[in-house]
Structure 1
């Protein structure tokens, strides 16, 4: 694999758990320089990051924000409020996080069906260019299913965002990482990729993934979202 996207040379990963390290490995395999930050001292994650090869380096989160051309958020979602807002201003930020109420607790800010969690993250990261991607496929499938472009049975990753140019860049990353990109729509449509939606957990090809996204409005989750979005407090009175 490899990439011809000259706009992205350095990929930053905020989060050194299972998802973060798998995405870091995919980025290294695609030919990118990769900066990985966990929580706290980079020495704590130096050993697992070293297994990715010389193109990957364990660093502070501030270094990721300063030096990466695109930053992937692979943190527990409630930690989005710890992100360096000013340092990420103007940066392409790829939100791979999910809301797990069993682990994260019941959170009104993350469970509100009137908005996607990525829109909530974007609202906090004023000035960042947020695109949803890499959240709906399990980390084992991400690690095992990467294939060169055009390979039979290649699986797909859906992405959602409001800016066409940013979507094109992230689509290029998805392709370089080993998957067919599928545009889900604007960032609000990222709710179709969250837990509770049919596409969440999907390990399927592009046609199957598009069909899942198309079926969302008629699904139970889709109807719940539609009801929530028809009644907005700011529309009352």
Structure 2
């Protein structure tokens, strides 16, 4: 499978590392162009390209950029693509977004409105870059971390789930993008390491009124990976 990644920061590079290990081809991209990614591409043994090239290359395309940056991307090349949305809302970085502050929509619903025609899946947003590096485990491992996803296209979620399993994680389906608030910041499932059963129960118990402090994941780790 070909995986295009829009972005080349720590999260994008860590994801590319595991994609390579899983036997898939990956292309990193950024707004500055492939000439700025030569050393990274050599280190990770992956392809590099423009945002357009990465979008065209990928059977699945991952958005690993700040939330504020997505609206500057031309949505046309992403039509009919499975697009993984890793974006999270940080007001100090992205600026205040009133409709998110009021809970009127989710980050993924915002992104989906821009990438019209894409099959958007919320994925890999609820894990820190350090955990993404160290937590993947092969299928059948006795203790395996689960990651939540949300999306409106059943087939796209199935394909995304297979890919995430290849990378090293079990998957729990949160539901449609409209339910993606359950895995955003200040929610119990955000960036907390859980196995599949624990994550499922946590999501089932999460209501609109269920909130946790920022940094909650630093002190709560229901599973220890061995």
Task: Name the TM-score, length of structure 1 as normaliser.
Answer: 0.86
Q: Does 1:23 align with 2:8?
A: no
Cα distance in structure 2, aligned partners of 1:91 and 1:26:
21
Query: Deviation per CA, 1:145-200, whole angstroms, max 9, x where unpaired?
Result: 11101102110111111111111001001100000011111111111111111111
Cα distance in structure 1, aligned partners of 2:30 and 2:16:
12
Matches within 5 A, 1:166-177: 166-177=156-167
Matches within 5 A, 1:1-237: 9-53=1-45, 56-217=46-207, 219-221=209-211
Query: Deviation per CA, 1:117-157, whole angstroms, max 9, x where unpaired?
Result: 10110011111110100000111101101110110211011
1:228 corresponding residue in structure 2: none
Cα distance in structure 2, aligned partners of 1:190 and 1:113:
11
Cα distance in structure 1, aligned partners of 2:97 and 2:68:
9
Structure 1: gaps of 5 or more residues: 1-8, 223-237
Structure 2: gaps of 5 or more residues: 213-226
- The answer (yes or no) to whether the contact 2:99–2:105 under 8 Å persists in 1 is no
Cα distance in structure 2, aligned partners of 1:182 and 1:32:
22
Query: Deviation per CA, 1:58-95, whole angstroms, max 9, x where unpaired?
Result: 11001011121110000001111012211111111110
Cα distance in structure 1, aligned partners of 2:38 and 2:140:
35
Cα distance in structure 2, aligned partners of 1:14 and 1:20:
8
Over 3 Å counting, the alpha-carbon distance change for 1:109 and 1:13 in structure 2 is: farther
**CA displacement at 1:112 relative to structure 2:** 4.2
1:226 corresponding residue in structure 2: none
Which stretches of structure 1, 4 residues or more, deviate above 3 A after TM superposition? 109-112, 218-222
Task: Name the TM-score, length of structure 2 as normaliser.
Answer: 0.90
Alignment coverage as a number of residue pairs = 212
Tell me, what secondary structure is at the counterpart of 2:12?
helix
Over 3 Å counting, the alpha-carbon distance change for 1:218 and 1:123 in structure 2 is: closer
Alignment RMSD: 1.5
1:5 corresponding residue in structure 2: none
- The answer (yes or no) to whether the contact 1:110–1:120 under 8 Å persists in 2 is no
